[in-house]
Amino acid sequence: QKEVEQNSGPLSVPEGAIASLNCTYSDRGSQSFFWYRQYSGKSPELIMSIYSNGDKEDGRFTAQLNKASQYVSLLIRDSQPSDSATYLCAVSGGSYIPTFGRGTSLIVHP
The residues binding another protein (CB under 8 A) are 32, 34, 42-46, 49, 88, 92, 94-98, 100-103
- Distance between CA atoms of 46 and 87, rounded to whole angstroms? 10
CB of 16 to another protein, least distance (A): 28
Rg over alpha carbons for the chain, rounded to the nearest Å, is: 13
CB of 78 to another protein, least distance (A): 25
Task: Report the b/e string of 49-81 with b at 16+ CB within 10 A.
Answer: ebeeeeeeeeeebbbbbeeeebbbbbbbeebee
CB of 50 to another protein, least distance (A): 11
C-beta of 2 vs 17, nearer to another protein: 2
Q: Is there a contact between 18 and 75 (Cβ–Cβ < 8 Å)? A: yes
C-beta of 94 vs 110, nearer to another protein: 94
C-beta of 7 vs 17, nearer to another protein: 7
CB of 44 to another protein, least distance (A): 5
C-beta of 13 vs 23, nearer to another protein: 23
- Distance between CA atoms of 19 and 12, rounded to whole angstroms? 8
